[in-house]
Structure 1
Amino acid sequence: MSAGCAKKKTTSTPPGAQVEVKDESKWTPPPAPAEPKVDEAALAAEAEQRARTEAVEELKSVTIHFDFDSYELSQEARSILALKANIMRRYPDVGVVIEGHCDERGTEEYNLALGERRARAAYEHLVILGVAPERMSIVSFGEERPVNPAHNETAWAENRRDEFVVQ
């Protein structure tokens, strides 16, 4: 048995002859990956919405406090109201209900009236600072909704307050 290689036929181009090569393929290189497009308007709108949410949270989370048997705004309360006024001027679609609260001392009628005077003091100060009156309303809860139910000076000081509820 003998194994051998089969003879291969070869052709060669005679020297000096030109060979023309034609590429009839339809291949095109794939497109370069597209740059992710940044939607500037969407980013700006998202940032504005986030700022608005934080501002509204600030508007409703910070309360002002009063001295015993008083509806006079302290310097600290005036500063807080100035920040609230800035937020309300920036977001003209935001309205608030100002809730006046008292501690448990005094009659129910007296505390309802005092709570109303406290809410009105904040309301009037915000109007002076440029907030449209129609965007605000007031309500008094007197001693009905204490934030601290204890019966001591610390609890009473916490309960003498105005709260701001965003509409």
Structure 2
Amino acid sequence: MAKIKTTLLIATCGLAIAACAKKRPETLPPAPVETPATEAPPATTGTGTGDVSPGSAADFQRSVTSNTINFGLDQYDIDPGARAILDSQAEWLARYPDVRITIEGHCDERGTREYNLGLGDRRANAAKNYLAAKGISPARMTTISYGSERPVATGSDEAAWAQNRRAVTIVLG
């Protein structure tokens, strides 16, 4: 009887230790690849002046207020400043109904990896839902969360963290 109790105790301890083992992190998808300007000439409108073509990623960058909205700490709500930016994006997207976008959700370095990936997802989806409410087809939009894996600002202070709490709209194609 004592031998069975000892065996059960050892097995229980072994299971408890195995349950606490770290899980392998999921791998993140590769970063979007941007072609350097030196590899291909800029798209033009045919004037020969180097103007960007309508509906291109460069046209988006030039035409909208910003491709980035920022969030407060642990927040994913769309504030009035973000609404103005997303309104300008919605206007541009309405002009080019064949253009597809990806909305990236990002966080600062604080919080666990899992928490930051979830918060980044909520931020990207908040932007997507706002654009959908403005009439942009959800079928044209994809979202991805990078959590804190791709900071735009380095540093461990509030100024850097504030820049990293964001959702970024990327024009595809």
Following superposition, the deviation at residue 60 of structure 1 comes to 9.8
Once the two structures are superposed, residues 62-88 of structure 1 have per-residue CA deviations (whole angstroms, 9 ceiling, x without a partner) of 200000000011101011001000100
Whether the 8 Å CA contact 1:102–1:159 is kept in 2: the answer is yes
Unaligned residue ranges in structure 1 (runs of 5+): 1-44
Normalised TM-score (structure 1): 0.68
Whether the 8 Å CA contact 1:60–1:165 is kept in 2: the answer is no
Q: In the alignment, residue 156 of structure 2 is paired with which amino acid?
A: H
In the other structure, the counterpart of 2:95 is 90
Following superposition, the deviation at residue 165 of structure 1 comes to 1.3
In the other structure, the counterpart of 2:106 is 101
In the other structure, the counterpart of 2:144 is 139
User: How far apart are the structure 1 equivalents of 2:124 and 2:78?
Assistant: 10
**Are residues 144 and 160 of structure 1, via their aligned partners in 2, closer, same or farther at CA, if it must alter by over 3 Å?**
same
User: How far apart are the structure 1 equivalents of 2:73 and 2:52?
Assistant: 39
Following superposition, the deviation at residue 149 of structure 1 comes to 1.4
Q: In the alignment, residue 164 of structure 2 is paired with which amino acid?
A: N
Q: What is the aligned counterpart of 1:121 among 126, 141, 146? A: 126
Q: In the alignment, residue 118 of structure 1 is paired with which amino acid?
A: R
| Aligned-residue RMSD, C-alpha | 2.1
Once the two structures are superposed, residues 134-153 of structure 1 have per-residue CA deviations (whole angstroms, 9 ceiling, x without a partner) of 10000000000000111100
- Identity among equivalent positions (%) equals 46
Tell me which structure has the larger Cα radius of gyration: 1
**Are residues 164 and 68 of structure 1, via their aligned partners in 2, closer, same or farther at CA, if it must alter by over 3 Å?**
same
> Are residue 150 (structure 1) and residue 155 (structure 2) matched?
yes
Which is further off, 147-156 or 46-55?
A: 46-55
> Are residue 55 (structure 1) and residue 59 (structure 2) matched?
yes
Whether the 8 Å CA contact 2:153–2:160 is kept in 1: the answer is yes
Once the two structures are superposed, residues 46-72 of structure 1 have per-residue CA deviations (whole angstroms, 9 ceiling, x without a partner) of 479644445322459520000000001
Q: In the alignment, residue 87 of structure 2 is paired with which amino acid?
A: A
Normalised TM-score (structure 2): 0.66
User: How far apart are the structure 1 equivalents of 2:81 and 2:55?
Assistant: 24
User: How far apart are the structure 2 equivalents of 1:98 and 1:154?
Assistant: 23
Unaligned residue ranges in structure 2 (runs of 5+): 1-44
Whether the 8 Å CA contact 1:99–1:162 is kept in 2: the answer is yes
Following superposition, the deviation at residue 108 of structure 1 comes to 0.5
User: How far apart are the structure 1 equivalents of 2:101 and 2:167?
Assistant: 12
